[in-house]
Chain A
Amino acid sequence: MELNQFLILSAFIFAVGVYGVLARRNGVLVLMSVELMLNAVNINLIAFSAFNHNIRGNIFALFITAIAAAEVGVGLAIVLLIYRNLRSPDLDRVEQLKG
């Protein structure tokens, strides 16, 4: 199989994730789009790991998985806090930091 078919699939999922982060208002959905982007990176790493016959790609993918889990935990706690303070999970209502 060609290396490129995996890389282009991963590029597509990354681009969809970027669209989600920019176009979604709900905090939970923004975090889900971030997960899409992290997964695209993982596909890339595994594809290069197989291409170069080098195990390091697998190990980096494991690290990214663990960091993604930590990120979701803290991110959802923050969204929960926003919901509790503003009565809405919408991120564009967080404008108190505007000068």
Chain B
Amino acid sequence: MWEQQVVFWLLALAMGGAAIGVVRSNDVVHSVLFLIVVLAGAAAQYILLAAEFVAWVQVLIYIGAVVVLFLFGVMLTRAPMGDDGARLNNDQRGAAAVVALLIFGVLTALLVDAFGGQEIRFGADLVAQGRPQAIGSDLFRNFVVPFEVLSMLLLAALVGAVVLARKD
């Protein structure tokens, strides 16, 4: 069990540092790279939790598609890079830090109070539950209507993005 703990803490430290890098970096492209570290760390945490299929979906959709979209956004809006970083932040950083610390403190106190000391039991059934076969059969047996609604949402988002971004 201690190997899992070592991997978890290494990943958690990398993710925490990279998450702070996303919101503190003075270069938009560096922020995107830090975001990749956070997303890859999250995928590794899913593997650690035996959610194999969701981990690969995370790699494909987030790191593969969403990050590329962000890089296109950076390119098309000519975001300031290098030492021009003061333009990236507004003047309410102190208040934002207070709000974030409050949220983190309250959530942590609540979680320790509610779930302190509860262990996750790992076993063969957990591994089987994360496989694409199990997820696919549950998805198409019990969640067909939400799945179809989601396809309509994606279509609407696609058309909406084209209509918004077209030049005329």
A26/B54 in contact, CB under 8 A: no
| B150 in contact with A66 (CB, 8 Å) | yes
The number of residues on chain A lying at the interface, defined by a beta carbon within 8 Å of a beta carbon of chain B, is 70
Cβ B146 vs Cβ A63 within 8 A = yes
Contact check, B77 vs A74: say whether CB atoms are below 8 A apart: no
19 A-B pairs with C-beta separation under 8 A? A4-B117, A12-B104, A14-B104, A18-B103, A22-B96, A22-B99, A26-B80, A28-B74, A29-B31, A36-B22, A61-B51, A68-B66, A69-B66, A70-B156, A76-B69, A76-B161, A77-B160, A81-B164, A83-B77
A residues neighboring B (CB under 8 Å): 1-9, 11-20, 22-29, 31-33, 35-36, 39, 42-43, 46-47, 49-51, 53-56, 58-59, 61-63, 65-74, 76-81, 83-84, 89-90, 92
On B, residues with C-beta under 8 Å from A are: 1, 4-5, 8, 12, 15-16, 19-20, 22-23, 28, 31-32, 35, 38-39, 42, 45-46, 48-51, 53-54, 57-58, 61-62, 65-66, 69-70, 72-74, 76-80, 87-90, 92-93, 95-97, 99-101, 103-104, 107-108, 111-112, 115-122, 125-126, 129-130, 134-135, 138-139, 143, 146, 150, 153-154, 156-158, 160-162, 164-165, 167
